[in-house]
């Protein structure tokens, strides 16, 4: 471009030489006008060749929604639920597990939080729209779709599309359509002000052929949120309906749904602000799901994963207290805090259980994030923290598949490592690598010690050489010494344990 400009200017100078001779001022003005004209022509040409950026959108296929619901029904778990969730009918490039921020399946619901943005987070520009979809399938027949777009620095618009083979009918905020033996009702709760229309499309894919219901906000915005409730019922079944009530409390949406003889109380913060919560009660009061968190990361899934989660969570249900829940802070943790070996700062508790150690750290001035896979344990922990008047960030997640978190100054693990290392030691080490800062993070690890015969209810045991092998590449060892675990029976002698203090190496 610069060479072309220089060539054009030189030719114009030659041709206009007699005209430019009277004054230097005239020569300067003519050259400036010429350069400006060339730049404007070049810019206009670029603008003419440029294609307008496509409007970001959220897609859903009614056919795929019906297929998804009828394939699961009341089944507690399936080995292909995650794959089916990723293929539920989005027009974005084929989604992979890399698009998955959080996931859980259990007997009551399937939950997924998806990042639909085109660029990877590491390569995303500030002006690139960020699209997220929170998908909640309330078994056996109700979907909640919470879709958000953060447009960046300037206001933008987007559209929400429901593709169908049959003509949807629109009445107020409801759209209804019939496919085969089922009727699908789609209720738009957000945005409150939106245009709705049905258009016919041509195309070869399942999302481009047939009819489409378009929901478009009437006003562009830097942040747009769609909230839809979809309910499926047998054709002609007037008894099966879904009633909804939505209340906004600050940045949180509090959604109540009455469907399938159950009442769902759902809390949905913005996707970047938290996972949210759910509580389910039955009309006959025989069965219910106590108030609990949605997952913050990808939980173990498939039949085996769900069985394992049920086993862990069952240890806390019905007022039970597992033997490892001592009900008092770890003696080793108290020692390092009260002797000033560890000072208050950002801290994470891996495998926090019912939160005793996390609450202790918070009471001593630490900024605490606490993680566990048992939702009942975290619900108990939250209640204990509220009574203690301290604030802890509780995350329902597996330590082997955490969401993105900023590194911490202190990591504490009282009995999590020795449970997971036999499944995937490398993944655990990778987790503490991501959670730690080179040259700064201290890590107090308490693990089962094999140097005595196992007592009743003994935890898994790890040899000292295995601990050193797992962590020596990333951490320096400040100490490895023997101690004992506290247990729920204060009169009993606790199992032998290792107390290991590690510091993240500066070079790794």
- Asked if 149 and 114 touch (Cβ cutoff 8 Å), the reply is no
pLDDT surpasses 80 at 203: no
- Asked if 127 and 153 touch (Cβ cutoff 8 Å), the reply is yes
pLDDT score at 70: 83
Q: What residues have CB less than 8 Å from 127, skipping those under 6 apart?
A: 152, 153, 154
pLDDT score at 32: 62
pLDDT score at 50: 41
pLDDT surpasses 50 at 77: yes
Q: Does domain 331-504 have CATH number 3.50.50.60?
A: no
Q: How far apart are CA 187 and CA 337, in angstroms?
A: 53
The helix or strand, by DSSP H or E, that contains position 390, with its residue range, turns out to be none
pLDDT score at 287: 63
Q: How far apart are CA 461 and CA 418, in angstroms?
A: 7
pLDDT score at 266: 98
Mean pLDDT score, 419-427: 94
Q: Give the confidence band of 298 by pLDDT, cuts at 50, 70, 90.
A: very high
Q: Out of 84-88, 108-112, 289-293, 426-430, which region has the weakest mean confidence (pLDDT)? A: 84-88
pLDDT score at 293: 97
Q: Give the architecture-level CATH label for domain 57-283.
A: Distorted Sandwich (2.70)
Q: Give the confidence band of 492 by pLDDT, cuts at 50, 70, 90.
A: confident
Over residues 229-256, the pLDDT tens digits come to 999 998 877 777 899 999 999 889 999 9
- Asked if 391 and 385 touch (Cβ cutoff 8 Å), the reply is yes
- DSSP calls for 119-139: S-GGG--TTS-EEEEEEEEET
Give the helix, strand, coil percentages of the chain, each rounded to 5: 30, 35, 40
Mean pLDDT of the chain: 85
Over residues 282-292, the pLDDT tens digits come to 877 666 899 99
Mean pLDDT score, 303-330: 91
Please report, rounded to a whole number, the percentage of residues in the chain having pLDDT higher than 90: 58
Q: Out of 35-49, 167-181, 250-264, 466-480, which region has the weakest mean confidence (pLDDT)? A: 35-49
Over residues 339-366, the pLDDT tens digits come to 999 999 999 999 999 999 999 999 999 9
pLDDT score at 333: 98
Mean pLDDT score, 132-155: 90
Q: Out of 104-108, 414-418, 455-459, which region has the weakest mean confidence (pLDDT)? A: 455-459
In 3D space, the residue among 374, 381, 367 whose CA is nearest the CA of residue 399 turns out to be 374
Q: Give the confidence band of 162 by pLDDT, cuts at 50, 70, 90.
A: very high
pLDDT score at 30: 54
Cis peptide before 191 (omega within 30 of 0): yes
- How many CA atoms, within 13 angstroms, populate the side-chain half-sphere of residue 116? 24
pLDDT score at 80: 85
- Number of Cβ atoms within 10 Å of the Cβ of 17: 10
pLDDT score at 355: 97
pLDDT score at 241: 85
pLDDT surpasses 50 at 47: no
pLDDT score at 51: 41
pLDDT surpasses 80 at 472: yes
């Amino acid at each position: 471009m610069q060479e072309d400009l220089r060539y054009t200017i030189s030719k114009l100078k030659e041709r206009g030489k007699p005209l430019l001779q009277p004054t230097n001022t005239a020569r300067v003005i003519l050259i400036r006008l010429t350069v400006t004209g060339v730049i404007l022509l070049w810019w206009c040409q670029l603008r003419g060749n440029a294609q307008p950026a496509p409007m970001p959108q959220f897609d859903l296929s009614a056919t795929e929604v019906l297929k998804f619901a009828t394939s699961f029904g009341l089944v507690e778990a399936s080995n292909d639920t995650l794959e089916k969730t990723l293929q539920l009918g989005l027009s974005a490039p084929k989604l992979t597990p890399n698009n998955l921020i959080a996931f859980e399946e259990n007997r009551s619901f399937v939950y997924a939080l998806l990042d639909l943005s085109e660029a990877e987070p590491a390569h995303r520009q500030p002006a690139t729209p960020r699209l997220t979809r929170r998908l909640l399938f309330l078994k056996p027949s109700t979907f909640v779709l919470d879709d958000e777009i953060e447009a960046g620095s300037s206001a933008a618009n987007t559209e929400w599309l429901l593709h169908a083979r049959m003509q949807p009918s629109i009445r107020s905020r409801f759209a209804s359509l019939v496919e085969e033996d089922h009727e699908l009702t789609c209720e738009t709760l957000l945005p409150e002000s939106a245009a709705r229309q049905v258009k016919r499309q041509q195309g070869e894919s399942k999302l481009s052929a047939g009819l489409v219901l378009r929901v478009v906000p009437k006003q562009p915005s830097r942040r747009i949120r769609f909230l839809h409730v979809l309910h499926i019922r047998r054709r002609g079944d007037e008894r099966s309906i879904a009633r909804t009530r939505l209340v906004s409390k600050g940045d949180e949406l509090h959604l109540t749904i009455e469907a399938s003889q159950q009442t769902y109380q759902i809390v949905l913060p913005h996707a970047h602000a938290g996972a949210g919560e759910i509580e389910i009660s039955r009309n006959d009061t025989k069965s219910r799901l106590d108030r609990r968190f949605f997952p913050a990361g990808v939980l173990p899934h498939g039949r085996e994963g769900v069985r394992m989660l049920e086993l862990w969570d069952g240890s806390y249900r019905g007022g039970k207290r597992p033997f490892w829940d001592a009900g008092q802070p770890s003696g080793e943790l108290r020692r390092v805090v009260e002797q000033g070996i560890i000072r208050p700062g950002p801290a994470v508790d891996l495998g926090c259980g019912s939160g005793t150690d996390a609450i202790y750290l918070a009471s001593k001035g630490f900024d605490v994030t606490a993680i566990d896979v048992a939702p009942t344990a975290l619900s108990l922990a939250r209640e204990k923290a509220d009574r203690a008047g301290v604030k802890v960030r509780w995350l329902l997640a597996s330590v082997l598949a955490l969401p993105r978190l900023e590194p911490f100054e202190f990591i504490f693990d009282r009995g999590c490592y020795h449970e997971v290392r036999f499944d995937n030691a490398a993944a655990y080490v990778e987790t503490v690598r991501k959670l730690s800062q080179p040259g700064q993070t201290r890590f107090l690890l308490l693990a089962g010690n094999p140097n005595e015969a196992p007592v009743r209810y003994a935890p898994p045991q790890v040899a000292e050489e295995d601990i050193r092998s797992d962590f020596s590449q990333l951490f320096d060892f400040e100490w490895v010494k023997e101690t004992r675990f506290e247990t729920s029976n204060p009169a009993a002698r606790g199992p032998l344990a290792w107390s290991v203090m590690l510091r993240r190496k500066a070079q790794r």
